[in-house]
Structure 1
Amino acid sequence: MTVKIKLNLLLILFFYGFVFSQNKERTILGQLKEMDSKTTIPYATIVILDGFTKKVVQGTTTDENGIFRITTSKTDFLIQISFMGYKTRFLENFDTSNPLIDLGIILLKENREALDSVELRANISKTQFKLDKKVFNVGKDIASTGMSALEVLNNVPSVNVNIEGDISLRGSSGVQILLDGKPSVLTESGGNALGTITADMIKSIEVITNPSAKYDAEGTAGILNIILKKEEKKGLNGSVSVNTGIPDNHSVGVSMNKRTQKFNLFTQFGGGYKSYPRYNKRINTNKINNSKLESEGTSYRNEVFYNLILGTDYHIDDYNVLTLSGNIAYEIESQPSETNFSAYADDLLESEWIRTEVTEAINPKWQYELNYSKAFKNDEEHTLIFSSLGRFFGKELTSEFSNTPISDANPNQLTDTQYQQADYTFKLDYKNPISEQVELEMGGQYVINEVGNDYQVKNFDREDQEFVVDPTLTNIFDYNQKVLGVYGTVSYENKNWGVKVGTRLENTDLIITNRGSEGRQQYNSLFPSAHTSYKILENFSLQAGYSKRIYRPRLWDLNPFISIRDNYNIRAGNPDLLPEFTDAYELTSIYKIGKANLSTSLYHKYTTDLQESITIFEDNITTTTPFNIGTRRSTGLEVNGKYSPLQWMTINGDLNWNYFNRNGAYLGTNYSFSNKNWSTRVNTKLSFSRDVDMEITGNYRSSNQTLQGERAGYAFLDLGLRKKILMGKAVVNFAVRDVFETRIFENIINNVNRYNYSFGQRGRFISLGFSYGFGKGEAMTYAGKSR
């Protein structure tokens, strides 16, 4: 054999040996422990990086005992080991001649600086500014312990929730509330339903004062999108939480998820009992005949609830995910109350009686959601998402009103309500980052709202000694609305400048049936939007935006027969009510000065066909009904700031000042006027030794002129304490809401014909919560809730 042939054979054998060695699988073993305590570290991230490109080749996580096993065919590679709160380690220079590489025990060292920053992010609510929205991360706010979503919203900059449960954004009503970006039966059926979501379930709240065309055009004041928590950590994770409070606010909740390579199974179940007392006082005075009716008493809304959520994410492959989830809930509701009535004529007492209410209701609820998400191989941000959502809410309610005479009384009454609501939402969203700077979005949404309300009132006939149906207060009201919307947006964004423009077209078809007659509203609406941002300096940016919005009347605005809980103060809807439209403009500056972050927004809104409630007073009965009355121009300034003067102290504050001018008349009465109002909130968070934190929040709302009178201002204070125990696996929270019981509702209407006074107060709420987390090693603070 010649030398040349021998060399060729050697080269061939070397080549095949090299290829074989490259393709040979090697198993790498190891165990992670904490350097100081030598305790194991579960669920840490283990990643194999290519030795030349440093790109990720393979990855895994440690098990509950800190052990990991990973395979690779690479010979030139690095291993990156990372876990939150620890310094990242890189391992290299391995002996790849053996199929098994045993790394033994690997020690990780705590990163104190990182731990401090993580703790700040986890426990302190922070606002993030994006091109067309602000994201308020709820975190672990102490004062929110055991509170509802309504109370959490009341702590969000720009948002105000009064004790009636009415939500306003920068002083304006007409807010669209979404859950996880979609309409919800919880947000359509009044504030009480939204109040059954607990703070522990909320991850963040998106405040969208000037939404782009991508979003549903509903809500002239803007959009509040409540993002619920959803754990996706590998392995078995979960938490158990117990809350108790005064007035009665007791709940137990369990949250768990199990994540594997293909599936993420999640469940949440819980139950509890809540009570919402409210003190009320009213005075209705007729100045023409000098008659007066006074009422005073306390009402309660008590609720026993049970809830189960079960769902799964199925990762078909690296680019396709299918999610299916369901929710079944059941509520048992009671509303006892006792109110003292006194009727006067010429300042002389004519009659007195005590009106007691016994109301019982059962509220079955269910929902489903099917979601398909596809990411394209060219870019993980290149996505197509389809979702189908269905929700049902039923209510069977009966009320018995007994009038016990002291000197005289009106007849007793019975009411019966059969209420059903079904919502269906179908969405398709497509996002394509055409380049690093240009992004295209388009999609559509179809929403169906079907509501039926069968309401009956019976008065006691003293002669026949039986209850007789009152036809003037009895009605079957049906509400069917379909909204089809399509949108398209395009954005350009580089290092210092960005712009996003788009438009949305919506078709609305509303059919209402009232007293057997059918009314219909059909119309098409175009909603353009434009947003831009410019980074002038490293710590100073400007944003500007425009959008057109709509506020469609809801069932409660349209139905003329709602409730006679107090048959001297009635709220009735208007079936002829039209939608209102708003053009919104906004300019925002964002800058950082040393340890302070500050943002200011100058905004202007112009609203047509404005919906305003007018109170009509007749025969000592006050009836409040909404009407379309003229236009409103509103200009305001909002300031949000955060300042950390010390490592253990952070101060957050916001101020909103608003001036408005409205023009309009109804039935010959001029309702034009101008006024201003303002509100402020200051939140101070203090961190002490031994894992103890304290939170103090002060709020003030100025008085406000209304269409016919004036609403009083008020201030209130919240307080919270938190203590971590059991190496951070458990958290104890204590919170007091409205410490001095000064959060009130007080409204006065005073003119030449009448004087109306109404006062309401919820009082002080005290809560104590305990949460224990397992799996990921820290308390997840999920509490049982009703939905």
Structure 2
Amino acid sequence: MKRILLLILSVGIFINAHAQFPAGGFGGGAKKPTVFGRITATILDSVTKQPIDYATVSLIAVKDNKSVNGGVTDPKGKLSLQNVAPDAYKLMIGFMGYKTKSILVTTTPAKPDQNLGTIYISSSENTLADVQVQGTKAVIENKIDRMVYNAEADGTNAGGDATDVMRKVPMLSVDVDGNVQLRGGAVRVLINGKPSGTMASSVSDALKMIPAEQIKSVEVITSPSAKYDAEGSGGIINIITKKSNAQGVSGTVNLSAGTRQNNGAFNLTAKTGRLSVNTSLGANLAYAQDSRVLFENNTRTDSVGKTNVTSIFQDGVSKWSRNGYNGSFGADYDFNAYNNLSSTIKYNNFSNGGPGSANYILNGAQFRNISSMDMGFNNFDWNVDYKHTTKKEGEEFTIAGQLSSGRNTTEFENEIIGSNFPAVNNDNTGKNKEYTVQTDYTYPFTKSTILEVGAKGIFRDISSAFSNNANQNFDYNQDVASAYGVISFKLSKKLNFKGGLRSEYTSIGFNNAQGGIQKNDYFNLFPSAIISQTLKGNATLKLSYNRRVQRPSLAYLNPFRNESDQFNIRQGEPTLDPELSDNFELGYSTFIKGSVINASVFYRRTGDVIESSIISLRENGFDKTLTTYINVGTAQTYGANVFASYNPKPKWTLMTNLGVNTYEVSNTQTGVSTGTFLNYNIFGRSAYGFGKGYNFELFGVVNSPRRTYQGKTDAMVFYGASFKKDILNKKGSIGINTLNPFTRDLHIKTVNNSVTTVGNKVSTLYQSTNVYYPLRSFGVNFSYSFGKLKFTEKKKIKNDDIKQDQQQGGGGMGGVQQ
């Protein structure tokens, strides 16, 4: 009954409200649907009469001088702009080294199609600098609540994957495995504005399966409005895939093979009339390689008149592999100009793990440990989305439903040969079912004054079953009902405002260690506000505030006792509270003679910060360690970001991404006070185009030491290079790449210290881990596109309220990923 009421609260009110405003908006009557047409032309060089392929064309409405459509010419110079509403337009044609040409064109309901025939454009060296400046501006866009990196405008992205693209995005830092951070805080990654089961299981694996050629742009939303779910202390990253209105059949093929990692992806789209269908397949395989782990653990336990000391030294090797595959099928149908229905089914599967062995020295006695661990994850997503628009530009009503079902497994065996310790083997199966319904309504009072309202209900059922101890089976239910309102308008000609309020009610129930049912319900309000000022010279200044939340996911909550290493046990904590953060930002962006500069400073205060915690246990006469999660305290973070791009020469691009932030956590109740530490990350890149489709790129990444309330992980440095050549009339590319070619392993050292007091016993723990991670790799890649892809861009479910474990998909508990 509770869920039915929440569902009614989330949807019913807004459906009824929308019913008051028929297709024409407030008080409007029925209107005739717009007859859409197309504009076609062939673009040729005025002297050579040869086709101009990849010329950029923009369709601009005469009435307000705004761009409403656009595209590029194919290798034969042909252009086709679809879904053009009857109106008067300017067709702007531009290409590097050519004069920009403008042509007036008018379409009417009686004659919606216009064939402009052959259009000649002439070259001019005098316009080269202007064209280059415009191209640079197109790479980075600064909007009121986000920074946009237009990946399709960066030719060096061909042949890579989404990980390579993300390293070039302002304000992001990406580690060696593709894990992404934004300003040192947690981030939510969306695909076309919606969550993905692939991303939920492993962001790094999911990014490796998205070819760079499929990415149109990446949005970095540091100041999400109340329209978004309130997850992510750092913000939201939204990856936009390329879209087209082309009819017919089209597709892409992407392949890469190397010494460390292999990827493949295939996409196919068919569109005829009002119906569009698409399907995709992807696979990823990382070869098993030896990762060496040196581990030292010293525990001293003092009680009344007695002291126990346990020393463990471990020198071992794990041989882990990673593989995964995914597939999807979607259909999209336009009933008419105002009503659309779409549905998508997705499935993904990941697994990683393998054997390991280690030599132990336990209090001077030598043993050998033989282990094996396998982890798997699969997820099924089904979305159904309905969208209704009206003749009033910008008015939109959507309702969407989503079913998501996931299953993850952990299996391990562990035996210490030559000791009295019993062999350990166990497995855990976790199941997650999630049902979501969402509705949104947008009404533009004017072109600059826009109201957005909506509601959403999420219903989650999580279960965790233990093979060897049914008494520890874990069931967790979480329901979230939310509603929001957002208003945006102009305060003056150059001053814009966007603000809103989101309310979320969360109901949680789970079985506790005593066998009872524990409840945890809470209500939160999440305000957001942005003021943006346009300055001279295309510069922008903005000030923003928002409040965010992060609820712990199953990886943090699951009380499954992972003993793949019997002396270093891992276990989740189901009583964790969510993190709440308040974020302030002051940002500045400008374009100076073709260069892009974006700088910002920010402050973030986060309560109930969730971190891993290592404590000492004494079992079977030996001191062991338990790694779990706790709400460690309150964090205050000050930081700054600078992104800059500069072209010393027309075909040479230099880019840097600098980020710095403080780390400080305190808790007056527990006495935790870490002091203030400085984190930084540096990304540098140099890309050069030699002409005739040849491109070369170098990049390097430096990540500073990272602090936790108990310890520190040392700095990491890695670098890479790639070379690629356009082939097959620029429809394909082939290239080679390398990562850390002069160093086989990346050395990662982590040191933790803790003090545990139980009664009159005080345990002091020192733990040191040295991982030698095989990073050096060489590879080749190939990509090919045929036709033009059609991706349906609809409003989708966006469940982005769960804090994800940074270990997911990367070795998890008790292993080292490859």
Instruction: Please confirm whether the aligned pair reaches a TM-score higher than 0.5, indicating the same fold.
Output: yes
Indicate the structure whose relative CO is greater, using CA pairs within 8 Å and at least 6 residues apart. 2
Q: Tell me the SS of whatever aligns to 1:171.
A: coil
Q: Which residue of 1 aligns with 2:118?
A: 106
Q: Tell me the SS of whatever aligns to 2:605.
A: strand
Partner Cα distance (2:68, 2:716) in 1: 60
Deviates more, 1:443-452 or 1:281-290: 281-290
- Residues 271 and 306 in structure 1, CA contact (< 8 A), matched pair in contact too: yes
Shift of 1:586: 0.8
Q: Is 1:302 aligned to 2:321, yes or no?
A: yes
| CA separation of 1:171 and 1:68: change in aligned 2, threshold 3 A | closer
CA displacement, residues 557-616 of structure 1 (integer Å, 9 cap, x when unaligned): 222215322232222222221112111111111123333221221111112222233211
Pick the aligned partner of 2:482 from 481, 485, 500.
485
CA displacement, residues 20-63 of structure 1 (integer Å, 9 cap, x when unaligned): xxxxxxx9999847457877899999999999999999999999
Pick the aligned partner of 2:768 from 757, 763, 774.
757
Partner Cα distance (1:559, 1:130) in 2: 40
Partner Cα distance (1:632, 1:611) in 2: 10
| CA separation of 1:187 and 1:271: change in aligned 2, threshold 3 A | closer
Q: Which residue of 2 aligns with 1:369?
A: 383
Q: Tell me the SS of whatever aligns to 2:535.
A: strand
Q: Which residue of 2 aligns with 1:240?
A: 253
Partner Cα distance (1:156, 1:197) in 2: 18
| CA separation of 1:430 and 1:111: change in aligned 2, threshold 3 A | farther
Shift of 1:402: 4.3
Pick the aligned partner of 1:327 from 319, 327, 346.
346
CA displacement, residues 496-550 of structure 1 (integer Å, 9 cap, x when unaligned): 1101111111111122234543222111111111100112323332100001111
- Residues 745 and 774 in structure 2, CA contact (< 8 A), matched pair in contact too: no
Pick the aligned partner of 2:426 from 384, 402, 415.
415
Pick the aligned partner of 1:685 from 684, 687, 706.
687
Partner Cα distance (1:556, 1:28) in 2: 51
Pick the aligned partner of 1:293 from 312, 319, 324.
312
Letter in 2 for 1:647: P
Letter in 1 for 2:565: D
Deviates more, 1:160-169 or 1:479-488: 160-169
Q: Which residue of 1 aligns with 2:719?
A: 717
CA displacement, residues 303-328 of structure 1 (integer Å, 9 cap, x when unaligned): 45443322122122223222222223
Partner Cα distance (2:288, 2:156) in 1: 18
Shift of 1:397: 4.8
* 1:149-164 superposed matches below 5 A: 149=162, 152-162=165-175
Q: Which residue of 1 aligns with 2:268?
A: 256
Q: Which has the larger radius of gyration?
A: 1
Q: Which residue of 2 aligns with 1:385?
A: 398
Pick the aligned partner of 2:704 from 697, 702, 711.
702
- Residues 631 and 663 in structure 1, CA contact (< 8 A), matched pair in contact too: yes
Partner Cα distance (2:486, 2:68) in 1: 36
| CA separation of 1:54 and 1:365: change in aligned 2, threshold 3 A | closer
- Residues 239 and 771 in structure 1, CA contact (< 8 A), matched pair in contact too: yes
- Residues 341 and 355 in structure 1, CA contact (< 8 A), matched pair in contact too: no
Q: Which residue of 1 aligns with 2:494?
A: 496
- Residues 355 and 402 in structure 1, CA contact (< 8 A), matched pair in contact too: yes
Deviates more, 1:539-548 or 1:492-501: 492-501
Deviates more, 1:321-330 or 1:735-744: 735-744
| CA separation of 1:543 and 1:756: change in aligned 2, threshold 3 A | same
Q: Which residue of 2 aligns with 1:352?
A: 367
Partner Cα distance (1:154, 1:54) in 2: 35
- Residues 197 and 379 in structure 2, CA contact (< 8 A), matched pair in contact too: no
* 1:390-469 superposed matches below 5 A: 390-403=403-416, 405=417, 407-408=418-419, 410-456=421-467, 469=468
Structure 2, unaligned runs of 5 or more: 1-36, 82-86, 302-307, 756-763, 791-808, 810-818
Letter in 1 for 2:499: V
Q: Which residue of 1 aligns with 2:277?
A: 265
- Residues 451 and 488 in structure 2, CA contact (< 8 A), matched pair in contact too: yes
Partner Cα distance (1:161, 1:92) in 2: 46
Q: Which residue of 2 aligns with 1:340?
A: 358
Q: Tell me the SS of whatever aligns to 1:556.
A: helix
Partner Cα distance (1:50, 1:156) in 2: 31
Shift of 1:337: 2.4
Partner Cα distance (1:52, 1:750) in 2: 67
Q: Which residue of 2 aligns with 1:20?
A: none
Partner Cα distance (1:634, 1:228) in 2: 33
- Residues 208 and 263 in structure 2, CA contact (< 8 A), matched pair in contact too: no
* 1:548-697 superposed matches below 5 A: 548-561=547-560, 563-618=562-617, 619-664=622-667, 669-697=671-699
| CA separation of 1:46 and 1:359: change in aligned 2, threshold 3 A | closer
- TM-score, normalisation: structure 2: 0.77
Q: Which residue of 2 aligns with 1:180?
A: 192
Structure 1, unaligned runs of 5 or more: 1-26, 71-75, 94-98, 457-468, 779-785
Q: Which residue of 1 aligns with 2:18?
A: none
CA RMSD of the aligned region, Å?
A: 4.4
Partner Cα distance (2:228, 2:38) in 1: 48
Deviates more, 1:302-311 or 1:582-591: 302-311
Shift of 1:283: 1.2
Pick the aligned partner of 2:232 from 186, 199, 219.
219
State how many pairs are aligned. 717
Shift of 1:694: 1.4
| CA separation of 1:534 and 1:573: change in aligned 2, threshold 3 A | same
Letter in 2 for 1:564: E
Partner Cα distance (1:50, 1:159) in 2: 36
- Residues 160 and 781 in structure 2, CA contact (< 8 A), matched pair in contact too: no
| CA separation of 1:621 and 1:151: change in aligned 2, threshold 3 A | farther
Shift of 1:485: 1.1
Q: Which residue of 1 aligns with 2:734?
A: 732
Letter in 2 for 1:679: N
Shift of 1:105: 7.4
Q: Which residue of 1 aligns with 2:758?
A: none
CA displacement, residues 400-440 of structure 1 (integer Å, 9 cap, x when unaligned): 3344x3x5463322222222222333222222221122111
Shift of 1:162: 4.3
Q: Tell me the SS of whatever aligns to 1:186.
A: helix
